[in-house]
């Protein structure tokens, strides 16, 4: 496996440093460490090259166990439930891929989702295992996601985000806020909330900032333009809730809706609508806009 191919594999695989023990082989260690996965399943994964060593090469069945040895393995979910939505590739060249992610589709493998993710779908569609997402949006959010397609130019594009050299604009439908003045800027400190997957505003110096404007009014609901300066987890969802207008169909805010199943007819009304940046390779301004629209 080439160095570039292994870099992509690292992003797609999970990492395990072998724990202390007295096993004879890596296989024995994996079977004991992951008891929910049968020995037959590990044998099958190893045979298919789904367990790699630190150099990115498939391990052998008799690879000797050594404490602290770095192993990469690809998660697999048996009988993974299909997600009946379709992504769209808006742009692709040798360095950059821009995709429109539909609501409910995760960007990367996590939890019960492995193959049913935007990353895996694009890898199969474009036959490019080197694809790596340059940023994330929530599973419930639709819209633009940018991917690096080439390890050689990856860092140039990755630096656009922490250095805030990329403008991101979103759209949301939420309850009307006639008592507030727009446009406005909302700043707050976001910290981990309860349950573990939520965020909440807390005391202290702000670490998030969102500009908000009203684009359209439709009775009790308005269409808002959201312009995040920072990019914290659930930032837009928490900020809209703090303003008094939780985004329509949000299963997490203001309260968690327990045991909620995906309602494909009523998705979260939040869209990563567009991005604008100066291309770090060509120096040309690039603007991409989602083809998805939020219906009332």
| Averaged pLDDT for residues 253-264 | 91
Confidence (pLDDT) at 111: 67
Pair 140, 52 in one domain? no
**Among 73, 104, 130, residue at a domain's last position:** 73
Q: How confident is the model at residue 124 (pLDDT cuts 50, 70, 90)?
A: confident
pLDDT tens-digit readout, 49-63: 889 998 888 999 999
154 domain residue, yes or no:
yes
Residue 164 lies in a domain: yes
CATH number of the domain residue 16 falls in: 3.10.290
Give the pLDDT score at 75: 76
Instruction: Look at residue 189 and tell me if it is in a domain.
Output: yes
State yes or no: pLDDT of 140 exceeds 60: yes
Q: Mean per-residue pLDDT for 235-249?
A: 98
223: CATH = 3.30.2350.10
Q: Which pLDDT value is given to residue 1?
A: 39
252 is a domain residue: yes
Which structure tokens are listed for 73? 């393995």
Note whether 37 and 149 are same-domain residues: no
Asked whether the predicted pLDDT for residue 22 surpasses 50, the reply is yes
The last residue of one of the domains, among 12, 45, 73, is 73
Asked if 169 and 272 sit in the same domain, the reply is yes
205 and 282 share one domain: yes
The pLDDT-based confidence of 84 (bands split at 50, 70, 90) is: very high
pLDDT of 168 above 80? yes
**172 and 261 fall within a common domain:** yes
Question: pLDDT digits over 178-192, tens only?
Answer: 999 999 999 999 999
Distance, first Cα to last Cα, the chain: 49
pLDDT at 11 over 60: no
- Quote the domain boundaries for residue 141: 88-289
How many other CB atoms are there within 10 angstroms of residue 151's CB atom?
A: 16
Task: Based on the fold, state whether residues 100 and 69 are members of the same structural domain.
Answer: no
| Residue owning tokens 């045979």 | 47
Q: 143 near 228, Cβ under 8 Å?
A: no
Are residues 178 and 42 part of one domain?
no
The better pLDDT of the pair 76, 296 is held by 296
Sorted by sequence, the CB contacts under 8 Å of residue 259 that are 6+ apart come out as: none
Residue 41 placed within a domain: yes
- 228 and 279 in a single domain? The answer is yes
Residue 39 has pLDDT above 60, yes or no: yes
Instruction: Give pLDDT tens digits for 193-213.
Output: 999 899 999 999 999 999 999
Examine residue 46 and state whether it is found in any structural domain, yes or no.
Answer: yes
- Residue 73: pLDDT band with limits 50, 70, 90: confident
**CA–CA dist 271, 181 (Å, integer):** 23
How far apart CA 240 and CA 2 sit, in angstroms, is 46
Residues 135 and 256 in one domain: yes
CA distance 6 to 273: 32
Are 101 and 87 a contacting pair, CB within 8 Å? yes
The answer as to whether 83 is a domain residue is no
Considering the domain architecture, whether residues 124 and 64 belong to the same structural domain is answered as no
Residue 7 pLDDT greater than 50, yes or no: no
Percent of the chain with pLDDT over 70: 95
Could you tell me if 28 and 127 lie in one domain? no
- Distance of alpha carbon 175 from alpha carbon 217, whole angstroms: 10
What's the domain count of the chain? 2
Single out the residue in 28, 47, 73 at which a domain terminates: 73
**E strand or H helix at 153:** none
As a whole number, mean pLDDT of residues 76-82 equals 74
| Burial class of residue 176 in the structure, from the number of CB atoms within 10 Å of its CB (0-12 exposed, 13-18 middle, 19+ buried) | middle
What band does 77 get if pLDDT is binned at 50, 70 and 90? low
Which pLDDT belongs to residue 115? 80
Residue 5 in this model has a pLDDT that exceeds 50: no
What band does 6 get if pLDDT is binned at 50, 70 and 90?
very low
| CA angle centred on 98, ends 79 and 216, rounded to 5° | 100
Q: Is residue 295 part of a domain?
A: no
| Residue 112 and residue 234 in one domain | yes
């Amino acid at each position: 496996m080439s160095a570039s191919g292994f870099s992509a594999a690292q992003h797609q695989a999970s990492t395990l440093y072998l724990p202390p023990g007295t096993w004879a082989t890596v296989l024995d260690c994996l079977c004991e460490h992951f008891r929910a996965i049968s020995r037959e399943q590990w044998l099958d994964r190893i045979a298919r090259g789904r367990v790699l060593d630190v150099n990115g090469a498939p391990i052998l069945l008799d690879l000797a166990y050594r404490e602290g040895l770095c192993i990469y393995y690809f998660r697999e979910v048996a009988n993974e439930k299909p997600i009946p939505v379709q992504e769209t590739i808006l742009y692709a060249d040798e360095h950059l891929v821009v995709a429109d992610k539909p609501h409910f589709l995760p960007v990367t493998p996590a939890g019960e989702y492995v193959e049913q993710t935007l990353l895996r779908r694009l890898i199969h569609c474009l036959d490019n295992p080197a694809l790596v997402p340059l940023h994330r949006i929530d599973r419930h959010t639709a819209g633009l996601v940018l991917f690096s397609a080439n390890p050689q130019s990856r860092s140039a594009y990755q630096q656009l985000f922490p250095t805030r050299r990329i403008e991101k604009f979103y759209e949301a439908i939420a309850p009307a806020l006639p008592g507030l003045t727009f446009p406005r800027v909302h700043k707050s400190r976001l910290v981990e909330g309860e349950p573990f997957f939520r965020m909440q505003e807390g005391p202290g110096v702000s670490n998030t900032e969102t500009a908000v404007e009203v684009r359209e009014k439709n009775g009790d609901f308005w269409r808002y333009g959201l312009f995040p300066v920072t990019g914290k987890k659930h930032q837009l969802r928490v900020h809209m809730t703090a303003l008094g207008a939780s985004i329509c169909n949000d299963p997490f805010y203001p309260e968690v809706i327990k045991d909620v199943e995906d309602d494909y007819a009523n998705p979260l009304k939040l869209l990563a609508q567009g991005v604008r940046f100066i291309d770090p390779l060509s120096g040309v301004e690039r603007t991409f806009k989602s083809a998805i629209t939020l219906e009332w």
